Copies of this chain bind each other. A is one copy, B any other.
């Protein structure tokens, strides 16, 4: 990890990549189905309010916007330029950017280091030009930036293929464009609001450390998700990750965990990835939350912004289903949680609350005839009033009475009154998805499989157990 540290000169910030007042689009096009057209369309569609300058000698107007033959003929120096011309033409283009005084360039184009020796040379050439003119570069071989605050969107993938998520408090950084796109699509499906996304591909300049530093200081960002294949300035990354994790939770997904996949990374973005053990140790040291799949990446980001930490691992499971309550208990235990039996006075109290044929030993199965009010009373006795449990798990399944919005409020109130998380588990059938929507509309996150919910619950318990993220206590 501590390899390849380079010149650590003070570099200008990257805020214009997210908030440009004006933007040049080099390689914009009106041609149906072209990437150059998709980017112009997406910018218009998102409602970007700054000036847009398409650059392409083949057009005088692109989608109703005046186009310019080259960078030099632009009427002003834009804050940002997005380049999507063939790799071999990019050095000449970057040179004119420098002469024109443009300081922030996103190079979307592929065909650099990831394709072999000649691409690597091309990349070194643009890096030299960028340094000479003090241009900050995002990319090449990336999708650039999506921003729900400034309405910037340089992703060339149309909305029909990648649904843009609603505005929210999560910022994402990713080497891989495909990862970022799918995380955004999944975030939309999962009701996870996003403020900003940056992808940097081959990452010749702007990297993880820049993104983490920017997000640390960004008032719109409350938690950060970062996808990593390999880091080539290890110390810089570790320092930035520590700084950021001290202020807000950072969830990381690392790919290339095995020898075989590390080799693949080189051909993908030209990075040589170090051993996974070294990364894992660094993540722990920096205080990051490590996810092991795209789904847990999204789930952990949801949890970290909407749920408090658990101060222990004793879980109470409450629902209206016997078999699935037991399956939930199995998943909890296999994730390192405890599902202690209820006895003594608490057992007596819960028996008074529940129906005679309900089971209240933990898992608590209130049965399909159980009511909202019974759920409220059970949570109140076992989670709010008692110190026997550190967290609750609620099964929002079909046994749930129709009034699920009331249950959502009961869960919110129990969390507020107890300071303990209640993790809501569901499944992905249609009925469950409808119920999920009701819960999430009032800010109660729902996790769409029992296993995923157990994974989240275990993380919340583990984070508190290990000292946790220092910001965790006041996340609510």
A residues with CB within 8 A of B: 110-111, 114-115, 119, 157, 160-163, 174-179, 181-182, 185-186, 188-189, 227, 229, 253, 255-258, 260-261, 263-265, 267-269, 293-295, 320-327, 329-331, 333-334, 338-341, 356-357, 359, 361-363, 365, 367-368, 397-399, 427-432, 448-451
The reply to whether B114 and A359 form a contact with Cβ atoms under 8 Å apart is yes
Partner pick for A368 among B157, B340, B398, CB 8 A cutoff: B157
Docked Cα-Cα span, A185 to B430, in Å, equals 7
Q: How far is the CB of A225 from chain B (nearest CB, A)?
A: 13
CB distance from A240 to the nearest CB of B (A): 21
Would you call B356 and A111 a contact (CB within 8 A)? yes
Whether A322 contacts B268 by the Cβ 8 Å rule is: yes
Q: A189 to B428, Cβ gap below 8 A?
A: yes
Residues of B within 8 A of A295 (CB): 449, 451
Find out whether the CB atom of A177 lies under 8 angstroms from the CB atom of B115. no
Q: A263-B341, A264-B326, A269-B322 are in contact. List 17 more A-B contacts (CB 8 A).
A: A111-B356, A111-B357, A182-B397, A182-B427, A189-B428, A227-B323, A229-B326, A255-B323, A256-B326, A258-B330, A258-B333, A258-B334, A260-B338, A264-B361, A268-B325, A268-B365, A428-B448
Q: Are B323 and A431 in contact (CB under 8 A)?
A: no
Contact of A268 with B368 at beta-carbon distance under 8 Å, contacts A182-B397, A257-B334, A430-B188 already known:
no
| Contact call B449/A261, Cβ cutoff below 8 A | no
Copies of this chain, tallied across the complex: 2
On chain B, the residues within 8 Å of A338 by CB distance are: 260
Instruction: List B contacts of A115 (CB < 8 A).
Output: 356-357
Chain B nearest Cβ from A296, distance in angstroms: 9
Contacts of A429 in B (CB 8 A): 163, 182, 185-186, 188-189
Write 12 A-B pairs (CB below 8 A) sorted by A numbering.
A110-B367, A119-B357, A176-B326, A177-B322, A178-B320, A179-B321, A227-B323, A258-B333, A258-B334, A260-B339, A261-B329, A264-B362
Q: How far is the CB of A447 from chain B (nearest CB, A)?
A: 12
**Assembly CA distance A82 to B177 (angstroms):** 57
Residue of B nearest to A317 (CB): B264
Could you tell me the distance in whole angstroms from the C-beta of A394 to the nearest C-beta in chain B? 15
In the assembled complex, the Cα of A367 lies from the Cα of B156 at a distance in Å of: 13
Q: Report B-chain residues with C-beta under 8 Å of the C-beta of A255.
A: 323, 326-327, 330
Q: Which of A182, A186, A340, A449 has the most CB of B within 10 A?
A: A182
